[in-house]
Each structure stands twice: as structure tokens, then as C-alpha cells.
Structure 1
């Protein structure tokens, strides 16, 4: 098992290094993670809504039972049957306690749903930020000058044309853009880590 774990750790490390060296890919991975979180949160919200509806239905059923036993207690008192009246009142009180418990559970579910809705909006906002960064990175990659191949084909113009100094400035500009994009990516990661 140790060899498999070592290989697994090595591959994970290499993958992380590769992703870090390709910020656009790192942004894409981050966007995928956020999409997955958004899907999980949406499922949670649906689950909370189902639970809340179930509690509401249960409360209505308990209310009907309370109404029934309250009527029975009044009827038994009117008929001069204190034994039945007391039993009906005890049953009514027990149903009231049960209704209060279900109500408290429903309120807790409502709070959790509200918190989950807030989390959903935060995730959506972060996804928009990351998607904007992905679009920005793609636009920067398209507008960046094409790098000549490492082994250019023989060309007479290459023999007589001195390399311009603007090429080195373009390279410097690309390095700065890459560095700025990396900084922005780290800022987004830190921002996500705080929540």
C-alpha cells in the first residue's frame, strides 16, 4: 500500500504543479469546484423545502387532532363524564406539545434553508468572478502576440532583419500580465477560503 500511496501523492503533486503553472486551467478547476458546490447547495435547498412542507402538513394534521380532542373534552364535560373529559384534555395537551415540537423543527429547517440560500448567492457571485477572470485570461491569451516556434523554418528575412527591442518589451508585458493574473487568482482563493 505504501508504494501506491507514494505514487498517488507524487501524481497529485505533479498535477497541482501543472495546474499552478497554468493559471487559466487553475481558474477552470476553481470554476468546476464552484459549479459542484452550487449543485450540492441546490439539492440541499430542495431537501429543506421538502422537509418544511412535511412539517407544515404534520402541523395541520396535529391541529385537526387537537380540534377533535378539544370537542370531545367539551362533549364529555357537558355529558357529566369527567373521566372521559380528563382523558380528552390530557390527549389535547399531549398533541399541543407535539405540535410545538414540530413547529420548532420547522423553524429550524427554515433557518437552515435561509442560510443555504445565502450560501448559494455567495457561490453564484464567486462563480461570476471566476468566469470573468477566465474570460479575461482567454482574451489576454488571444491578444498576446504569437510566440515564434522554437525551431523556425529557414527564412531569408530572418537573416537580415535585426530583432527589435519591442519584442523584449512584449515578453516583459506578458510576464507582468501572468504575474498579475496569478496574484488575482491567489486573492480569489484567499477570499474563498475565508467563507
Structure 2
């Protein structure tokens, strides 16, 4: 078992534990996953559309080449130049094969575009359903808070705060104050332990 697999399993386990402790955040986690999938589908769709345009251009260019070599073949036949006529015929056949190959690729790309569009539509629909559920769950929690009027659980609010932060902005600061505090505390603990060992 490699380090990456160990870390992945650890991360999954911790995420599962966290979501069990904060069940209302499970919907947010699912929504985040769906948003990622929708963004991937949109990016893939953009790549496929660019590839489709390239293939369209290549097919058009190949069709023009086929037409030019067909005219040259006819011209060589009319002038009774068998050598040139045969060479032009071979070139036309090679271009026809190339055009057929490009057409097959284009067909495949168009199918993938349709599949990706359908996937994006389904994911988008799931996200909409999930957002409705999240709004309902939030309304139920708000009603529960008003009914009980108890002080909020600090552990739950810490969890919410951390979860609601963007994963891309937490660690981009040059110095993380919380990391600094923990490092200082851990260093002090190690020093105390050393003093205890030396005092024996």
C-alpha cells in the first residue's frame, strides 16, 4: 500500500467522520462534488467543440484537395497523359481515404458532444434538486433553533466555519496563524518533555 493510497483512505475516513458529526453538511459536500462534475463536463464540452471545429476545417480542406486532384486527373486523361492521370488518381484515392477517416472521427466527436451535453444537463438538474433540499434543511434547522432557543454547539459552528471556507483560499496566506500557534505549543510541549527527562 503506497503513501498516496494511505493518505486517500485517511482523508475519506476523516471526511466520513466529519459528515456524520455534521449531517447537514453532507448535502453541501454532495453539492460541491456535483459542481466539480458540472465544471468538468463544461470544460470537456469546450475541448470537444474545439476538436469538432478543427475536424470540420480539415474535412473542408480535404474535400477541396479531392476536387482539385479530380480535375487534374480529368485534365491529364483529356491530354492522354496516362502517367499523370494515374498519379492524380492515386492522390485522389489517398485523399478520399483521409476524408473518410476524418468523417469517422467527426461522427465520434459529435456523439461524445451529445453524451457530454446530456451528462451536464443531468448533473445540473441534480444540483438544482440538491439546492432545494439544502434550502428545506436550512429552513428546518432555523425553525428548530427558534423553537429550542438554546445556545449553539460550539463544535458544530467551528465545523461549519471551516467547511464554508473556500478550499482554495485557506492555505494561500504566507503565514497561517493557527499553524503558527500549534507549532509554538508543540515546541513548548517538546521542551517541557526534554526538561522532565533531563531532571530524572
Deviations 1:38-95 (A, max 9, x none): 0000000011101111100000000111111011001101111011001101110110
Whole-Å separation in 2 of the counterparts to 1:67 and 1:7: 60
How far apart are residue 148 of structure 1 and its match?
Answer: 2.9
Cα separation, partners in 2 of 1:89 and 1:30, compared to 1, 3 Å: same
Distance in 1, matches of 2:91 and 2:40, equals 42
* Shift in alpha-carbon separation, 1:5–1:37, aligned structure 2, 3 A: closer
**What is the CA–CA distance in structure 1 between the aligned matches of 2:77 and 2:116, rounded to whole Å?**
50
Structure-1 separation of matches of 2:79 and 2:5:
80
Deviation track 1:142-194 (CA, whole Å, cap 9, x = no partner) reads 111135349xxxxxxxxxxxxxxxxxxxxxxxxxxxxxxxxxxxxxxxxxxxx
Output the TM-score relative to the length of structure 2: 0.69
* Residues 1:137 and 2:133 aligned together: no
Distance 2:22 2:14 in 1: 12
Structure 2 CA distance for partners of 1:69 and 1:10, relative to 1, 3 Å: closer
Normalised by the size of structure 1, how large is the TM-score? 0.70
Count the aligned residue pairs.
150
> Which residue pairs with 1:75 in the alignment?
75
1:146 equivalent in alignment to 2:127: no
Alpha-carbon distance between aligned partners in 2 of 1:95 and 1:2, rounded to the nearest angstrom: 50
Which is worse superposed, 100-109 or 3-12? Answer: 3-12
Inter-partner Cα distance in structure 2 for 1:2 and 1:102: 43
Distance (whole Å) between structure 2 residues aligned to residue 12 and residue 78 of structure 1:
75
| Unaligned segments of structure 1, at least 5 residues | 151-195
Once the 2 structures are TM-superposed, how far is the Cα of residue 16 of structure 1 from its aligned partner?
1.2
